[in-house]
Structure 1
Amino acid sequence: MAEILILGIMLISAVVPFALLTKLMRGGQSGLTLAIVSAIGGTLAIFIYASGRPFGIEPVFAMAVAMIGCVPALLGATAGALLGWLLRRQDDRRV
Structure 2
Amino acid sequence: MSTTLFPQPEMIRTTVTLPADLIARSQPFLDQGMIASRNALIVAAVEHFLAELERQEIDRQFAAMSNDEAYQALNEAIADDFSDSDWEALNMGEGEAA
- Please tell me the TM-score bracket, short chain as reference: 0.3 to 0.5
* Larger helix proportion of the pair: 1
Normalising by structure 1, we get a TM-score of 0.37
**Greater length-normalized contact order (CA 8 Å, ≥ 6 residues apart):** 1
Larger radius of gyration: 2
